[in-house]
Amino acid sequence: MSTLLKNVTIKSHEMTRPKPPVIVGTGSLGKIYKVQYKGADAIIKSAKEDLDAILEEFHIHYKLREHENVLKFYGIIKKDDRIALIYEYATHGKLSTFLKNNSLGWDIKSKLCHDITLALFHCHELDISDYTIKLDDIYLTDDRTVKIAGFNKYNNKRKKEDSLNDFNTFQSIGTIHWDAPEAISSDQEMKLSLINHPKLANIYSLGLIFWAIVMNGKIPYEGMTRDKIIEEKRQHNANELLQNLLPQLIPSKFSNIIFKMTKYAPRQRSCLLEVLCVLEELYDFNNQKESLLKENSKQSNNKISLPLSQNVDDDVY
């Protein structure tokens, strides 16, 4: 085991797990389980077969571990040749569910978009961009802090290579709704843009997340088949079609930045600094998180006490 892995290895007495196991979600690497780490709720995820993918995710989250808007990484558990990653538990779950269950004002929606952009900006500063950001990988913690997760650079590298080699054999890994046009294009120049400028593809995906936040959790191209989505995204005016679906009362600066982020041509999209400036104009940062904390959630916050079993490393899920 490398020195880095040893430094972040969690001791067995620091963690307990519910018995029977509690599944809280499923990611690209497999099922995600709820555990307790040092008395606080946490999650554990592992890949039974794809060790390279879990190690890649570990290295990415380790680099990003200090950012407020990235799901906090606690450490690893290792048994034999298997590794499990331990993260903080987002009490309020996925942002998509929160959006559907709550009525949010434009200031709060712009604040959510701003914080997600900060997290992505931090990723880009550390040259982390080989993945597709999507709404299902964004969570809310107890104090309604937005957190991004779901980094799977290894799988996305393979995905991009498939796209470059032969689009007909390429299959989007659960991200087709969020993929930039260059990720599903049959045009060689667009494919090369994805390989050489993945950050521009991230900006497009982020623009679609903004669109979903404005639309109260609605997924772009929802209800369409994969082939129909590809057909729509290959249209150079696809962002105009999405723009027409936005509510009439949306602030013009908000709709304009979404429009610019989702342009077909990668180099015509807004940079993240421009996005942040626009969002800061839309949100009164003197209020900080208070408005968000006061929103009346329709979700039940009842907590269920579960029997706990020691020695989680005896059974790395």
173 pLDDT higher than 80: no
Band (pLDDT 50/70/90 cuts) for residue 294 is low
Predicted confidence (pLDDT) per residue in 111-135, tens digit? 999 999 999 999 999 999 877 899 9
Domain boundary among 36, 69, 89: 89
Assigned domain for 315 exists: no
Q: What is the pLDDT of residue 90?
A: 92
48 and 125: one domain?
Answer: no
Mean pLDDT is lowest, of 117-131, 201-215, 252-266, for: 117-131
Q: What is the pLDDT of residue 20?
A: 87
Other Cβ atoms within 10 Å of 306 Cβ, number? 15
Question: Mean pLDDT over residues 67-77, rounded?
Answer: 91
Assigned domain for 306 exists: no
Band (pLDDT 50/70/90 cuts) for residue 236 is very high
65 and 163: one domain?
Answer: no
83 and 99: one domain?
Answer: no
Assigned domain for 301 exists: no
As for how many domains the chain has, the answer is 2
* Buried b or exposed e, range 27-51, using 16+ CB within 10 angstroms: bbbbebbbbbbeeeebbbbbbeebe
Tokens representing 214 are: 């404005």
Q: What is the pLDDT of residue 225?
A: 94
User: Cβ neighbours of residue 87 under 8 Å, at least 6 residues apart?
Assistant: 42, 43, 44, 45, 61, 71, 72, 73, 74, 149
Backbone angles phi, psi at 80, to 5 degrees: 55, -120
Assigned domain for 251 exists: yes
170 and 122: one domain?
Answer: yes
CA–CA gap between residue 260 and residue 182 (Å, rounded)? 16
Q: What is the pLDDT of residue 296?
A: 47
Domain boundary among 89, 112, 143: 89
Q: What is the pLDDT of residue 29?
A: 67
Residue 159 DSSP SS3: helix
80 and 104: one domain?
Answer: no
Assigned domain for 302 exists: no
Tokens representing 262 are: 């989702």
CA–CA gap between residue 52 and residue 106 (Å, rounded)? 41
Which segments of the chain are extended strands (E)? 15-18, 22-27, 30-37, 40-46, 73-79, 82-88, 138-140, 146-148, 308-309
208 pLDDT higher than 80: yes
Domain boundary among 89, 124, 145: 89
CA–CA gap between residue 195 and residue 301 (Å, rounded)? 43
Instruction: Report yes or no: 92 and 297 within 8 Å, Cβ to Cβ.
Output: yes
96 pLDDT higher than 90: yes
20 and 82: one domain?
Answer: yes
- Which structural domain range is residue 241 located in? 95-294
37 and 103: one domain?
Answer: no
Predicted confidence (pLDDT) per residue in 2-41, tens digit? 677 777 888 878 888 888 888 887 776 678 889 999 989 9
Assigned domain for 172 exists: yes
Q: Return the higher-pLDDT residue of 226 and 164.
A: 226
110 and 241: one domain?
Answer: yes
Question: Mean pLDDT over residues 35-52, rounded?
Answer: 83
31 and 110: one domain?
Answer: no
29 and 162: one domain?
Answer: no
143 and 257: one domain?
Answer: yes
Tokens representing 122 are: 């931090």
Closest by CA to 131, choosing from 148, 145, 110, 118, is 148
Closest by CA to 206, choosing from 83, 96, 99, 120, is 120
**Cα-to-chain-centroid distance, residue 306:** 28
Predicted confidence (pLDDT) per residue in 266-290, tens digit? 999 999 999 999 999 988 654 554 4
Q: What angle do CA 43, 206, 299 make, to 5 degrees?
A: 45
170 and 272: one domain?
Answer: yes
Q: What is the pLDDT of residue 105?
A: 93
Assigned domain for 168 exists: yes
Instruction: Report yes or no: 247 and 109 within 8 Å, Cβ to Cβ.
Output: no
Tokens representing 11 are: 């001791």
Tokens 């669109």: give the residue: 211
Length of the chain: 317
Q: What is the pLDDT of residue 147?
A: 95
Tell me the CATH number at 146: 1.10.510.10
- What's this model's pTM, rounded to 2 decimal places? 0.82
Tell me the CATH number at 29: 3.30.200.20
Assigned domain for 259 exists: yes
Percent of the chain with pLDDT over 70: 79
